[in-house]
Amino acid sequence: MHTDHFEQVMRTLKRRYVARAESAKDTPWESVLFTMLTARSRDEQVEPAFRALMRAYPTPAALSRARVSDVAHIIRTIGLYRGKARNAVALAHALVERHGGKVPADLDALVELPGVGRKTASCVLVYAFDIPAIAVDTHVLRVTNRLGWVKETTPEKTERALREVLPKKHWLDLNRVMVQFGRDVCTPGTRPRCFACPVATWCGFPNKTKTSR
């Protein structure tokens, strides 16, 4: 892949999406908790439950003392809420016991926390600490494969491959722009909106749609 392709695509998508990309949560604590809760759920579905949870338990110390059943009741409107309640309390315990109640700004330390995988850890680094990382969700996986940047089938393999080919200066913006782009244009399924794509010129997807029909 010629490096000019990365530059053209990222420059174009940043102009279109970064200004209106969803902002990070206010603190690293909010960022890690919210991102963990959004697993297999849409952000807008999680937001009310997350805000209610923060009102009840605003700090890791407060949440570490909570009963899992009480947390589950608060977040019962989101998917997998029982498991997420257990993880949330365990996450708070781990932050208090291992890190003095602070969220570490380190990938290895983050992924050792309960309920925190590489995607969540990378999102926290990018959105809460402004540290370059590659957070691969379903949108990043789908779009970067369609563009021809990688040829992988899992988030973990896609992250490793992108680390090898994508210039680091683009890591901070990758998740921001690909999530928006993946929702608006490069949608799931067999008929993405290629006819409305601003980066089709540099895209390797072989089955581009010509019209909306």
* Tally of domains in the chain: 2
Same domain, 188 and 111: no
Question: Does residue 41 contact residue 81 with C-beta atoms inside 8 Å?
Answer: no
Query: CA–CA separation, 134 vs 171, rounded Å?
Result: 6
Listed residues 129, 151, 182: the one ending a domain:
129
In a domain, 207, yes or no: no
**CATH number of the domain residue 87 falls in:** 1.10.340.30
Which residues, given as ranges, of the chain have pLDDT below 70? 1-3, 19-25, 212-213
Same domain, 62 and 76: yes
What confidence tens digit (pLDDT) does each residue in 53-100 have? Answer: 999 999 999 999 999 999 999 999 999 999 999 999 999 999 999 999
Look over the chain and give the mean of its residue pLDDT values, rounded to a whole number: 92
In a domain, 38, yes or no: yes
Same domain, 118 and 48: yes
pLDDT of residue 213: 60
Domain that holds residue 33: 28-129
Statement: the pTM of the whole predicted model exceeds 0.85: yes
Same domain, 122 and 102: yes
Find the Cα–Cα–Cα–Cα dihedral 170, 173, 174, 175, rounded to 10°: 160
In a domain, 209, yes or no: no
pLDDT of residue 209: 87
Same domain, 32 and 123: yes
pLDDT of residue 116: 96
Same domain, 124 and 168: no
pLDDT of residue 137: 93
